Chains A and B, each alone.
Chain A
Amino acid sequence: MNQVKKFISKNAVPILFAIVCLLGVYYAQMPGQFLLMEIVKRMARNSFLVLSLIIPVVAGMGLNFGIVLGALAGQVALILSTHWEWSGIGGLLLTALLATPMAVLFGILAGMVLNKAKGREMITGMVMGFFANGVYQFIFLFLVGTVIPFENAALRISTSPGLRNTVNLTRIRGALDNIWTVQIGFTKVPIVTFLVIALLAIAIWAFFKTKLGQDFRAVGQDRHIAGVAGIQTDRNRVLAIVFSTVLAAWGQIIFLQNIGTLNTYNSHEQVGTFAIAALLIGGASVTRATIGQALMGTFLFHLLFVVSPSAGQAIFGSAQVGEYFRVFVAYGIIAISLALHAWRSRSLAKARLKEDVSA
């Protein structure tokens, strides 16, 4: 009995969301085949991005709202690869290769900025994402076609500067997903994409067994003690962000090859929010995140996403209510876990203070 209690209190968030999702599924009355198809598609699309958040959490930098920078690196690479007409899986790999140095550079810059804002990494990362988004828009909406010569009918309308609002990624679409698919009913399961996700999960698990991974953990648990123990904390923090940014760049490429069209100016905006919400729904917190939580969270969050419009229609007579509800859940879950984290760390600090005084 105690064990059950422990399990429930430990996994309160995912259990709660599982119940909400089940209610949603019940009211939405969607055909199971359709539900399965949507979930498989969305898991393939998003899992990689959610997994990219784990390393900075373990390194004590909180939820990396700055993965937007990685997503931007991925998109820049995709724009260039579309321009040069790379195609197929080879083209996709080349695109990922092209995105990597950009993401490394962005990651180093972001890591350096975050080292100047210790204790407020999350808000800084978020504002950094907005800032980078502004710079990205400035480049691709204004400089391209005016200062930077760039002529390509697939990407630009020649009468006005800047890229098109939507770019068709015909050459890359499904490059990874369609290598090997297994048909279950109506659902095509992209085996290779899931293999890549599994590979990443194993790589992250293995990484934390290495010396560097253990150093990250030590830095995450207590920066000062890790510093005294001879770990270069600042350097490790930058590295953690670099890993996360590179993974996010690859994640965004996987995401977009699945969707097949690039919304030049807003594909990336919600990357951070939705990935973080998914991770938190899986039961992760600001200081603790595991691979299982990331995958569980992605599943629950996207299940909720799929069923909420129909459930809203059934319960409130309006699909709009459901759509707003899922956005509310995404923001709300982040607000609640941030508040809980701050609350807990504050009571912890208070308790420590009392101990110090009594000792």
Chain B
Amino acid sequence: MKERLIKIYHGFGLPRLIISVFLLALIIVAAGTELSVPGLLSDALVRIGQNGIYVLAMVPSIQAGAGLNFGLPVGVIAGMVGVLVAMENSLLGFGGFVVALLVAIPLGIIAGYLYSLLLNRVAGQEMMVGTYVGFSVVAGMCIFWLMAPFKNPALIWPVGGQGLRVTLTLADTFGGTLNEFLKFEIFGLTVPTGLLLFYALLAFLLWLFLRSKPGVAMEVVGRNPRFAVASGLNINAYRSVGIVLSTVLASIGYVVYAQSFGFAQLYNGPLMTAFPAVAAVLIGGASTREAKVLNAIIGVVLFQTLLTVAMPVTNQLIEGNISEIARVIVSNGMILYALTRVTGGEQA
């Protein structure tokens, strides 16, 4: 019995144990106040589905040996273009969602491929280069949003007839399509079934891919490049596969995020998307060298629940909105911890 407990403990890991205990304590405190615990957990479910795909996107890039994908905005931008095309044509409901995906995915593949060509040339420094490539892409796209040929009056500034607005609402087009699909309520807990199903589907497909022949080959390339060369694997090709996959997941992630959140925030909106996702996958037990789909799932559940529950609870206890600061400290602290652990080789 004791051995089994120790085994479970080692499998789960200390950081996750601490966070789970802390979460439980928060929920107990919340039950003591006038806050509705099912309400809090409903919000948490929405945020898990909303952010989950970004966290999944970290897995293929880590497995392919390219480290944590700090260049997530590269894919997010492709997703934004998809959402905007659907909105420009005023497509409603599922039609809008599907069209957004159909535009976003090919763009994500192209952007991801170009991004992987760069990352393959800077092997060993992917994280730093990726961060600033992501920042540059976001900043460069700010100019694009100003000049882009969108004509729908709901999207552009009322004066001048050009330039997209900073915040666009999806309420009139396809906001909440997935969240509302098969939504049901149980003991006061609202379950966004469609959103969670879509997330589960992507997680399953990714899990399947990692188990397939190319998936295993990709893992070998990431784990031990020399061995991979000796086995006749094309390192750069498999790294590209991982990076493209990661980028495409980010594009899909944005479409899902936007429909769930209900707003599309352009310009500097996507600048820091990578950081919470990176933190979540690390909290889930991944390292800069190794990640499983399970790490991504545990990570996003713990991290997003923590953020959703912590904010109202702390607001009851102390004044002011501490959630944003808690997010900054927890996520960057976690990244810092992962970066300073000995991982054998030198990688940035």
Given contacts A119-B346, A141-B320, contact A131 B340 (CB under 8 A): no
Enumerate A120-146 residues with CB–CB distance to B below 8 Å: 120-124, 126-128, 130-131, 133-135, 137-138, 141-142, 146
Q: Is the CB of B122 within 8 A of A142?
A: no
Q: Which of A130, A161, A341 contacts B332 (CB 8 A)?
A: A130
> CB of B328 within 8 A of chain A?
yes
A321–B139 Cα distance when bound, in Å, is 11
Bitwise, A233-255 to B at CB < 8 A (1) or not (0) is: 00000000000000000000000
A122–B118 Cα distance when bound, in Å, is 19
Q: Is the CB of A332 within 8 A of B140?
A: yes
Please list 18 pairs of residues, one from A and one from B, whose beta carbons are closer than 8 Å in the complex, sorted by A's number.
A117-B340, A122-B348, A131-B329, A131-B333, A141-B325, A161-B318, A318-B163, A324-B139, A331-B135, A331-B138, A331-B139, A332-B140, A334-B132, A338-B122, A339-B133, A342-B122, A343-B122, A346-B124
Interface residues on A, range: 35 or more
Q: Which residues of B contact A122 (CB under 8 A)?
A: 128, 348
Q: Which chain B residue lies CB-closest to A65?
A: B128
Given contacts A160-B320, A342-B124, A342-B125, contact A130 B328 (CB under 8 A): yes
Q: Which of A328, A335, A339 contacts B121 (CB 8 A)?
A: A339
Enumerate B295-348 residues with CB–CB distance to A below 8 Å: 318-320, 322, 325, 328-329, 332-333, 335-336, 339-340, 342, 346-348
Q: A119-B346, A316-B147, A318-B163 are in contact. List 7 more A-B contacts (CB 8 A).
A: A134-B329, A321-B146, A328-B140, A335-B129, A335-B135, A338-B129, A339-B121
Which residue, of B128, B328, B332, has the highest number of chain A Cβ atoms within 10 A?
Answer: B128
Total interface residues in chain B, CB < 8 Å: 42
Q: Which of B132, B139, B336, B347 contacts A119 (CB 8 A)?
A: B347
> CB of B131 within 8 A of chain A?
yes
The 7 closest A-B pairs by CB, nearest first: A119-B346, A120-B348, A342-B122, A134-B328, A342-B125, A335-B132, A131-B332
Q: Which residues of B contact A128 (CB under 8 A)?
A: 332, 336
Bitwise, B95-117 to A at CB < 8 A (1) or not (0) is: 00000000000000000000000
Looking at chain B's contact residues, is the secondary structure mostly helix, strand, loop, or mixed? helix
A127–B143 Cα distance when bound, in Å, is 27
> CB of A320 within 8 A of chain B?
yes
Q: Is the CB of B136 within 8 A of A124?
A: no
Nearest-neighbour CB distance to chain A for B253, whole angstroms, equals 22
Q: Is the CB of A113 within 8 A of B129?
A: no
Looking at chain A's contact residues, is the secondary structure mostly helix, strand, loop, or mixed? helix
Residues of B within 8 A of A (CB): 70, 118, 121-125, 127-129, 131-133, 135-136, 138-140, 142-143, 146-147, 163, 267, 275, 318-320, 322, 325, 328-329, 332-333, 335-336, 339-340, 342, 346-348
> CB of A56 within 8 A of chain B?
no
Which residue, of B133, B322, B346, has the highest number of chain A Cβ atoms within 10 A?
Answer: B133
A116–B339 Cα distance when bound, in Å, is 8
Q: Is the CB of A137 within 8 A of B147?
A: no
Q: Which residues of B contact A141 (CB under 8 A)?
A: 320, 325
A316–B121 Cα distance when bound, in Å, is 35
Q: Which residues of B contact A123 (CB under 8 A)?
A: 70, 127-128, 131, 339, 348
Q: Which of A113, A160, A335 contacts B133 (CB 8 A)?
A: A335
Nearest-neighbour CB distance to chain A for B197, whole angstroms, equals 34
Nearest-neighbour CB distance to chain B for A349, whole angstroms, equals 9
A137–B332 Cα distance when bound, in Å, is 14
> CB of A118 within 8 A of chain B?
yes
Q: Which of A120, A127, A142, A330 contacts B322 (CB 8 A)?
A: A142
